[in-house]
Amino acid sequence: MQSIFTGFSSLPAFLALLTLASCTTSAKEVSYSCPASIGVAATVVNAAGKWETIDRGQTNSHTLVAAGFTDGHPKELADLKPWHIDDGSPSAGKPRTVIYKFEGKYPDGIWLSCSYRDTSLVAFQRLPETPSSCEVIYSQKPGMAPTVDSVHCK
């Protein structure tokens, strides 16, 4: 009968190697939260003819609708495509899950971008380290648009 410890001088050496292997294969999960809403004030780009405009100081709140990732600063418009989308089941209360995988090098970093209803403005931040993958979880209710519930990266 051949021992499973062949090549190892003892059981402790084998267990130490097994522990080291399990530590190096598990990645630490980090959670991120997009702001639930942003306040936006309007600015006129141009007015036709003799029309004048004023800003009455009113801001509108826009709610979070989506989260995604870019290769480098979002101003570069290098949006990354999801690796997999599981649409879930609103009637069963199963969330929609969007998975991103980051393979290769990202010299300008991976950035989390948060999009909001009825505005082109985006909130964003650079992730401190390039993760191997991230998932965006959307909660779903029948008859309603999915909403961003959480963002997890590892």
Q: In this structure, are residues 121 and 40 in contact, taking their beta carbons and an 8 Å threshold?
A: yes
Q: What is the pLDDT of residue 23?
A: 36
Sign of CA dihedral 9, 10, 12, 17: positive
Quick one: pLDDT band at residue 41, thresholds 50, 70, 90?
confident
Q: Answer yes or no: is pLDDT of 120 > 80.
A: yes
Q: Among 1-5, 91-95, 100-104, 139-143, which stretch is predicted with the lowest mean pLDDT?
A: 1-5
Mean pLDDT of 108-114: 97
Q: Answer yes or no: is pLDDT of 25 > 60.
A: no
Distance CA 70, CA 113 (A): 7
Q: In this structure, are residues 44 and 85 in contact, taking their beta carbons and an 8 Å threshold?
A: no
Q: 82: which 2 tokens?
A: 């999801």
Q: What is the pLDDT of residue 145?
A: 83
Q: What is the pLDDT of residue 12?
A: 41
Q: Answer yes or no: is pLDDT of 69 > 80.
A: yes
Percent pLDDT > 90 in the chain is: 57
Nearby residues of 118 by Cβ (< 8 Å), 6 or more positions away: 62
Strands of 9-121, DSSP E:
30-32, 37-41, 59-71, 84-86, 96-101, 110-116
Residue with tokens 């931040």: 125
Q: In this structure, are residues 35 and 29 in contact, taking their beta carbons and an 8 Å threshold?
A: no
> Whole-structure pTM over 0.95, yes or no?
no
Q: What is the pLDDT of residue 4?
A: 40
Domains of the chain, by residue range, sit at 32-40+57-153
Percent pLDDT > 70 in the chain is: 82
